[in-house]
Amino acid sequence: MKKVVKITEADLKRIVKKVLKEQAQAQPSVYTSQTFKPKNYGSLFDLGKYQDDSGKIKQAIEQDKEAVVNFINSQDFANFTAKIIAGESQVTNPAQFKQKGSLALARAKTVYDILTDVYSDLINSGQLKIAEPSLGEVVIGKTPYKPGDQNDPAKLEKYKQEQYVSMNLQGSGKTLKCNTPLPVKGQQGVAPNFEFIYDTELKLNPKIKGISYVAYTIPDRPIIVNSKGEKTSPPYFVREKQSEPIGELKFPLELAVKANIYPNSPAFANVEFVDAYRDKILQYVKGGIQSQQQIGGVLANILKASENNLSQPLKQLYNSLAGANNTLTLQVFNANAAVLKDVFSKSPKIVTNPNGTPFNVNMQQTPSIKIGSYAPLDNTIFQITPFC
């Protein structure tokens, strides 16, 4: 024989009040990774309320900020979206929230407003976006409810699990990774700019403090382009290590010739110069016939490659070398002493740095960069490595 239980209107209100109270219990939060679990703010709302009249929710969100920021800074993503996940059971809501999901949505919007205020610095920097919740996103529990079900421990536990207001962080945008080299192969720069830009936007993350640029053996002049299109280069050409002897002779002489032919090129703007006339030209001329043949052959090849753009004095030097079997004899040297000194005493500086050339680059300066090089000598090959 079935037992009939009569429930008065007062009993029903008491039951609804009891079940609604379970919305204030902490629920499992959404994991954003194996190492971070955002706090569920549903437990801080007063019974049947959706506003933060006591300030408890804002205080909790402010207390959580350090952990959230630490998590963001530990990830290799360019930016994050904070999405508010709200759930509501099928327990009857108070009269002003007759529409299913409306109470959970009201609470989610309260959390949204507080998050937007507390995280305004990250929002303004573009690092964080707070997604505004909508009614269609509220998750309605699947556990049926009828008066009296709250006395069933199994169902009551399910109601608790279905009522929450949580935050989920989702990272997006691939970024450079700490201590992970990015190799780049490009073409030789075309005169007069000699510029090569790797046509990929490289996003930074909060961990990155700078990058190291390595140009191997052929000197290039690094280019770092920020998100505004502003370019930064050191006042010299760089390489990881010295090349073979012929390269050590050729590179400073070729840079000197191209800097002379293209004085307004950005490749040579604000660059420091060294005296290759003293260190190369004079030393090889005084070194005897073999040295004169070696440097004469190098000069002839350099001048031939730019034959159509040579000044008249450089054309005369080129012709003199051709008439002497590409040997910088004393006669050729004396006949072209002025142009030799004028051109080669201003050779763009080359810095050899085995550990790469460091650049101070971080998200406070620019959210992303492009990289490249001024490459007047050959196809450019380099790599960058972020350091954190």
Instruction: Determine the pLDDT at residue 20.
Output: 43
Q: Are 283 and 328 in contact (CB under 8 A)?
A: no
**What proportion of the chain, given as a percentage, has pLDDT over 90?**
56
C-alpha–C-alpha distance, residues 71 and 53, integer Å: 29
Asked if the model's pLDDT at residue 27 lies above 60, the reply is no
305-315: per-residue pLDDT in tens?
Answer: 999 999 999 99
In this predicted structure, which of 144-148, 319-323, 361-365, 370-374 has the lowest mean pLDDT? Answer: 144-148
Asked if the model's pLDDT at residue 218 lies above 90, the reply is yes
User: 341: number of CA atoms within 13 Å, CB side?
Assistant: 6
C-alpha–C-alpha distance, residues 337 and 339, integer Å: 6
- What average pLDDT score do residues 261-284 get? 97
Q: Are 103 and 45 in contact (CB under 8 A)?
A: no
C-alpha–C-alpha distance, residues 226 and 131, integer Å: 28
Instruction: Determine the pLDDT at residue 312.
Output: 97
Instruction: Determine the pLDDT at residue 181.
Output: 92
Amino acid at 95: A
116-128: per-residue pLDDT in tens?
Answer: 999 999 998 888 9
For residue 262, which phi and psi values (nearest 5 degrees)? -120, 70
Q: Are 358 and 330 in contact (CB under 8 A)?
A: no
Asked if the model's pLDDT at residue 9 lies above 70, the reply is no
List of residues 6+ apart from 253 with CB closer than 8 A: 276, 280, 295, 298, 299, 302, 344, 347
Question: What are the beta bridge partners of residue 371?
Answer: 224
In this predicted structure, which of 14-18, 80-84, 227-231 has the lowest mean pLDDT? Answer: 14-18
C-alpha–C-alpha distance, residues 344 and 83, integer Å: 63
Residue with tokens 């009828």: 146
Q: How far is CA 183 from each of CA 86, 187, 371, 372, rounded to the nearest angstrom? A: 45, 14, 11, 11
| Residue whose C-alpha is closest to residue 122's, from 167, 166, 73, 168 | 73
- What average pLDDT score do residues 39-60 get? 84
Asked if the model's pLDDT at residue 383 lies above 90, the reply is yes
Instruction: Determine the pLDDT at residue 182.
Output: 92
List of residues 6+ apart from 285 with CB closer than 8 A: 291, 292, 295, 328, 330, 333
List of residues 6+ apart from 35 with CB closer than 8 A: 71, 74
- What average pLDDT score do residues 207-215 get? 92
Q: Give CATH for domain 9-172.
A: 3.30.1330
- What average pLDDT score do residues 14-24 get? 46
> Ranked by mean pLDDT, which of 14-18, 187-191, 243-247 comes out on top?
187-191
Instruction: Determine the pLDDT at residue 35.
Output: 46
CB atoms within 10 A of CB 98: 10
Instruction: Answer with the residue of higher pLDDT: 130 or 10.
Output: 130
Q: How far is CA 127 from each of CA 81, 205, 229, 253, 348, rounded to the nearest angstrom? A: 9, 9, 20, 47, 40
The angle subtended at Cα 129 by Cα 86 and Cα 67, nearest 5°, is 75
Instruction: Answer with the residue of higher pLDDT: 178 or 278.
Output: 278
The span from the first CA to the last CA of the chain, in angstroms, equals 74
C-alpha–C-alpha distance, residues 254 and 30, integer Å: 61
Instruction: Answer with the residue of higher pLDDT: 64 or 40.
Output: 64
> How is residue 24 written in tokens?
């204030």
Asked if the model's pLDDT at residue 92 lies above 80, the reply is no
C-alpha–C-alpha distance, residues 278 and 276, integer Å: 5
Instruction: Determine the pLDDT at residue 11.
Output: 54
DSSP string, 43-64: GGSPTT--S-TTSHHHHHHHHH
Instruction: Determine the pLDDT at residue 288.
Output: 94
185-201: per-residue pLDDT in tens?
Answer: 999 999 999 999 998 88
Residue 263 CB-density burial (10 A; 0-12 exposed, 13-18 middle, 19+ buried): exposed
- Residue 178: which pLDDT band, with cuts at 50, 70 and 90? confident
- Residue 8: which pLDDT band, with cuts at 50, 70 and 90? low
Cis peptide before 192 (omega within 30 of 0): yes
- Residue 58: which pLDDT band, with cuts at 50, 70 and 90? very high
User: Would the pTM count as exceeding 0.75?
Assistant: no
Instruction: Determine the pLDDT at residue 89.
Output: 83
User: 58: number of CA atoms within 13 Å, CB side?
Assistant: 11
Instruction: Determine the pLDDT at residue 168.
Output: 84
359-381: per-residue pLDDT in tens?
Answer: 999 988 998 899 999 999 999 99
Residues of the chain with CATH 3.30.1330: 9-172
> How is residue 220 written in tokens?
């290039």
Asked if the model's pLDDT at residue 147 lies above 50, the reply is yes
| Residue whose C-alpha is closest to residue 29's, from 21, 18, 19, 40 | 40
Mean pLDDT of the chain: 87
Instruction: Answer with the residue of higher pLDDT: 352 or 153.
Output: 352
Residue 166 CB-density burial (10 A; 0-12 exposed, 13-18 middle, 19+ buried): buried
